């Protein structure tokens, strides 16, 4: 029997940031889109100053305006996603596994968990040359009873099929830290998996 969770993780909780690498990718995509928007603004300014009411100049101006608008909107979306992913983290303490996204915090108490395991997903793209293989990881938490959290942060982690469980996807390179943090707190719940290196 584990202690009941409080409103925040305990001071000795082990945090594992899982959103920073994903946030960096979104920031890079946002910067590329911002550069496209800047090119569109520059081309629009050039087309506006050289504009003699010819059809080709007007077409060039509208193309540049669309590039500015498209790049600007995509840059905004990418940077918003990066901001929301930046603070995503899991923490483990003696009461449960905490999931934090910067604004909201939720806990999965160890008392509700039957087993914890690391799941590897291997995706092979056979339609490309050369055949590419990608590996991703997730922490699966099997529960004693069906999931009824009502928490928006945890509801998106629920797997509808099979036994009641949560699945927390881990970006590449964070699975070893997450596995070590969980094993240190609840080794008796951990299901051994193949080598995760």
Outline where DSSP puts E strands in 22-126.
Answer: 89-92, 96-100, 105-109, 113-125
Residue with tokens 């550069």: 35
CB 34 within 8 Å of CB 40: no
Higher pLDDT, 157 or 194: 157
- pLDDT tens for 89-143 read 899 988 888 888 877 888 888 888 888 988 888 877 777 677 777 788 889 888 8
Range with lowest mean pLDDT among 48-57, 110-119, 162-171: 48-57
What pLDDT shows up at residue 32?
93
Report percent pLDDT > 70 for the chain: 90
E strand or H helix at 66: helix 55-86
- pLDDT tens for 9-27 read 888 888 888 888 888 989 9
Residue with tokens 């050039």: 46
What pLDDT shows up at residue 31?
94
Enter the tokens of residue 165: 């469980």
Calpha distance 7→23 (Å, rounded)? 27
Enter the tokens of residue 66: 């669309």
- pLDDT tens for 75-86 read 999 999 888 888
């Amino acid at each position: 029997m584990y202690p009941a969770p409080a409103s925040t993780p305990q001071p000795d909780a082990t945090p594992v940031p899982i959103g920073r690498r994903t946030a960096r990718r979104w920031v890079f995509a946002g910067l590329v889109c911002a550069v496209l928007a800047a090119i569109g603004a520059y081309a629009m300014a050039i087309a506006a100053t050289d504009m003699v009411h010819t059809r080709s100049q007007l077409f060039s101006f509208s193309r540049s305006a669309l590039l500015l608008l498209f790049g600007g909107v995509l840059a905004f979306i990418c940077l918003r996603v990066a901001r929301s992913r930046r603070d995503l983290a899991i923490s483990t303490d003696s009461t449960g596994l905490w999931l934090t996204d910067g604004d909201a915090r939720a806990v999965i108490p160890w008392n509700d968990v039957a087993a914890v395991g690391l799941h590897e997903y291997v995706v092979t793209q056979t339609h490309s040359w050369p055949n590419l293989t990608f590996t991703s990881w997730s922490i699966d938490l099997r529960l004693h009873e069906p999931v009824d959290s009502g928490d928006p942060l945890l509801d998106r982690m629920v797997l509808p099929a099979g036994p009641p469980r949560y699945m927390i996807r881990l970006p590449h390179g964070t699975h070893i830290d997450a596995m070590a943090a969980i094993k240190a707190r609840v080794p008796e719940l951990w299901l051994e998996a193949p080598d995760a290196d």
